[in-house]
Structure 1
Amino acid sequence: MTDTILDVRGLSVDIATAGGVLHAVRDISLKVERGKTLCVVGESGCGKSMTSLAIMDLLPKGARRSAAALSFAGEDLSRAPGKRFNALRGNRMAMIFQEPMTALNPAYTIGDQLAEPYRLHRGASAAQARDRAVYLLDKVGIASPAERLGQYPHQLSGGLRQRVMIAMALMCEPELLIADEPTTALDVTIQAQILRLLADLQKEFGVAIMLITHDLGVVARIADRVAVMYAGQVVEEGPAAALFSDPRHPYTRGLLDCIPVPGRTARGGRLGAIPGVVPSLVGEVHGCSFRDRCPHARPVCAEDPPAREVDGHRWRCILEKAA
């Protein structure tokens, strides 16, 4: 059995707009290994969530996906029909959406929403689904789980709703879990609990996790590998330790410089910042998208940057190493 559960190559997502075609995701390649965590990081609007929706075949109307390969557990899904994705989603591959209050249906109880995928994919009885739901709610740290089954989403706090989303995603013991900013809008204490929970569940169930975030602090705590996205592209990808200690792309270096470092950042001192704004991805896009914000930009950056790799650490830049 291969160690790679998800292998994405040449994935692009285009969206028709009044001003032209928006190239939301541009020719990205990613791999997620069984039992490991890949963190996809980047600022808002860089294409992180659109990438996850493309992988799950949940793109909004009007968005068009293309890929050289979209392989899940050795099966190429790049041209698979919707019925095949319906059989996989919520079963062998699952997703934790960014905002649980809108992802959970306010008209149905927690118990009904937890039981539905288990009964649909596993042919379980109502009693079996209920027992599984109680087990997982307890596993994700929700007190009195049996009583929670009769409650509605609005009766739970944000942290509890997020835990319910995690339990729902685990109902059918998926091989791949995609978590789209699961700690957004939660206070730091609950964030830490959710991250610890994901790590514990990964150890117990061996699930592969693709975690989407813009928080490098989260990345440092949980990632095995990191993919840095900018303007719809993966500009750097590699082992988490190597990326933090030896970033190769100027954008990654800029992100890391924005983080205060205990003992090095002076109290009251100015943090790093990346000047400028993200370029428009509507219409033709050429060259390095970061060149207008990069302190190392040269005329050659108007052409597509070379792809470089050292010991599994890959980046797109004319530089061999970020200054």
Structure 2
Amino acid sequence: MALLEIQNLTIDIPTSGGLLHAVRGVSLSLERGKTLAIVGESGSGKSLSSLALMDLLPRRAVRRADALRFNGVDLMCATERQKQDLRGNRMAMIFQEPMTSLNPAFTIGDQLCEVLLRHRKVSRTEARDRAVMLLEKAGITSAGTRLGQYPHQLSGGLRQRVMISMALMCEPDLIIADEPTTALDVTIQAQILRVLRDLQSEFGMAMILITHDLGVVARIADDVGVMYAGRLVETGPAAKVFTTPGHPYTRGLMDCIPTPGRTKPGERLGAIPGQVPNLVEELRGCAFRERCGQSRSACGESFPDLWLADDHRVACLSGQSAENAA
């Protein structure tokens, strides 16, 4: 049985201009110990999909799903007490910006220990010892001293390591990492990714990695889900999606990445023309068709189902027609 199962997740948010269809029919699953990367442009619904799992959506947002199950628990029917017992305990989240996620009024030690004291029957000394151990595993030196410091006294890279340690305090089954390397320089990014990968392997956790950086995906993910305008347009093993991308949007994202040894200094990189459609409107057909060089009239009639193409799934009528013709 999959650790996480999502079927037909939709998220609508009322706005002054109408109903925003932020996430539209997302379905995916995740096995224990595996890493699923969800990629796409800003506003594609990546972060909202993950917040829906923990029921941390904006107050006015409306969440619906045919199934939303975590480790056998129906998250759509869970009581508030059940959800509180899951959050930070069996599932944890590393938020995008640690400076705004950590409380500036409390020390690092207080915030780390609070997680374990809330969910486990342990003494404060035991909680402190585990906090020190996890900070050290996350690559923070003088971990015992760091417990007495406040978030503003740490660099961005150290704060992100603290967030990783906090997420691991209760040895969760699932970690959701929302853009964990945003605003960090390349060297620190590589260090953070290595820490995540090593700790995941040691503790046997599943992980959802939310990012727009395909280079990050290539280094850490087992499977990939590509999102566009609130929908999944391609899913499958990372190696397959990278070597044989089936959706025009995925190929467009790949073309935007400089290739070592092939992209010359100063050479113009690829770009996807046009703009993401307005999700307040009622969309028909494929939302990418206005930016796609392969679109045709049928693309505006209905959104294609994800169909199997070279061991991964693609939602594209053009590719499906080519496959049928072959």
Asked if the contact 2:181–2:189 (Cα under 8 Å) also holds between the matched residues in 1, the reply is yes
Q: Choose which of 280, 290, 293 in structure 2 pairs with 1:292.
A: 290
Q: Choose which of 55, 58, 65 in structure 2 pairs with 1:57.
A: 55
Distance in 1, Cα, partners of 2:6 & 2:96:
22
Q: Tell me which amino acid in the other structure corresponds to 2:314.
A: W
Cα deviation for residue 303 of structure 1 reads: 1.4
Asked if the contact 1:11–1:25 (Cα under 8 Å) also holds between the matched residues in 2, the reply is yes
Tell me the secondary structure at the aligned position of residue 288 of structure 2.
coil
1:276 aligns with 2:266: no
Tell me the secondary structure at the aligned position of residue 68 of structure 2.
strand
Q: Tell me which amino acid in the other structure corresponds to 1:202.
A: Q
Q: Tell me which amino acid in the other structure corresponds to 1:218.
A: V
Provide the residue aligned with 1:39 in structure 2: 37
Tell me the secondary structure at the aligned position of residue 320 of structure 1.
helix
Asked if the contact 2:22–2:45 (Cα under 8 Å) also holds between the matched residues in 1, the reply is yes
Cα deviation for residue 73 of structure 1 reads: 1.0
Q: Tell me which amino acid in the other structure corresponds to 2:110.
A: D
1:168 aligns with 2:166: yes
Tell me the secondary structure at the aligned position of residue 318 of structure 2.
coil
Tell me the secondary structure at the aligned position of residue 269 of structure 2.
coil
Runs of 4+ in 1 over 3 A off after TM superposition: none
1:237 aligns with 2:215: no
Distance in 1, Cα, partners of 2:226 & 2:185:
25
CA deviations on 1:125-151 (whole Å, 9 max, x unpaired) are 111111111111111011111111111
Asked if the contact 2:284–2:303 (Cα under 8 Å) also holds between the matched residues in 1, the reply is no
Q: Choose which of 131, 144, 150 in structure 2 pairs with 1:133.
A: 131
CA deviations on 1:75-112 (whole Å, 9 max, x unpaired) are 22122222211000000000000000000000011011
Tell me the secondary structure at the aligned position of residue 130 of structure 2.
helix
Distance in 2, Cα, partners of 1:222 & 1:57:
26
Distance in 2, Cα, partners of 1:222 & 1:91:
23
Cα deviation for residue 306 of structure 1 reads: 2.3
Q: Choose which of 137, 147, 150 in structure 2 pairs with 1:149.
A: 147
CA deviations on 1:106-126 (whole Å, 9 max, x unpaired) are 001101100111011012111
Asked if the contact 1:68–1:78 (Cα under 8 Å) also holds between the matched residues in 2, the reply is no
Tell me the secondary structure at the aligned position of residue 304 of structure 1.
coil
1:254 aligns with 2:252: yes
Q: Tell me which amino acid in the other structure corresponds to 2:81.
A: K
Tell me the secondary structure at the aligned position of residue 292 of structure 1.
helix
Asked if the contact 2:286–2:304 (Cα under 8 Å) also holds between the matched residues in 1, the reply is no
Asked if the contact 1:247–1:322 (Cα under 8 Å) also holds between the matched residues in 2, the reply is no
Distance in 1, Cα, partners of 2:311 & 2:85:
33
Tell me the secondary structure at the aligned position of residue 265 of structure 2.
coil
Cα deviation for residue 285 of structure 1 reads: 1.4
Cα deviation for residue 25 of structure 1 reads: 0.6
Tell me the secondary structure at the aligned position of residue 183 of structure 2.
coil
Q: How does 1:9-28 map to 2 (within 5 A)?
A: 9-28=7-26
Q: Tell me which amino acid in the other structure corresponds to 1:316.
A: A
Distance in 2, Cα, partners of 1:320 & 1:274:
18
The TM-score, its normalising length taken from structure 2, stands at: 0.96
Provide the residue aligned with 1:194 in structure 2: 192
Unaligned stretches of 5+ in structure 2?
none
Asked if the contact 2:240–2:311 (Cα under 8 Å) also holds between the matched residues in 1, the reply is no
Provide the residue aligned with 2:226 in structure 1: 228
Provide the residue aligned with 2:315 in structure 1: 316
Provide the residue aligned with 1:177 in structure 2: 175
The TM-score, its normalising length taken from structure 1, stands at: 0.97
CA RMSD of aligned residues (A): 1.4
Distance in 2, Cα, partners of 1:139 & 1:265:
37
Q: Choose which of 65, 76, 79 in structure 1 pairs with 2:77.
A: 79
Distance in 2, Cα, partners of 1:232 & 1:156:
36
Taking every aligned residue pair, what percent have the same amino acid on both sides? 66
Cα deviation for residue 51 of structure 1 reads: 0.8
Asked if the contact 2:227–2:234 (Cα under 8 Å) also holds between the matched residues in 1, the reply is yes
Distance in 2, Cα, partners of 1:6 & 1:117:
23
Asked if the contact 1:9–1:67 (Cα under 8 Å) also holds between the matched residues in 2, the reply is yes
CA deviations on 1:207-249 (whole Å, 9 max, x unpaired) are 1010000000001111100000000111100000000111111
Asked if the contact 2:285–2:304 (Cα under 8 Å) also holds between the matched residues in 1, the reply is no
Asked if the contact 1:6–1:31 (Cα under 8 Å) also holds between the matched residues in 2, the reply is yes
Cα deviation for residue 305 of structure 1 reads: 3.1
Matched residues, number: 321
Cα deviation for residue 284 of structure 1 reads: 1.2
Q: Flag the 1:229–1:19 CA change in 2: closer, same or farther, 3 A.
A: same
Distance in 2, Cα, partners of 1:253 & 1:204:
34
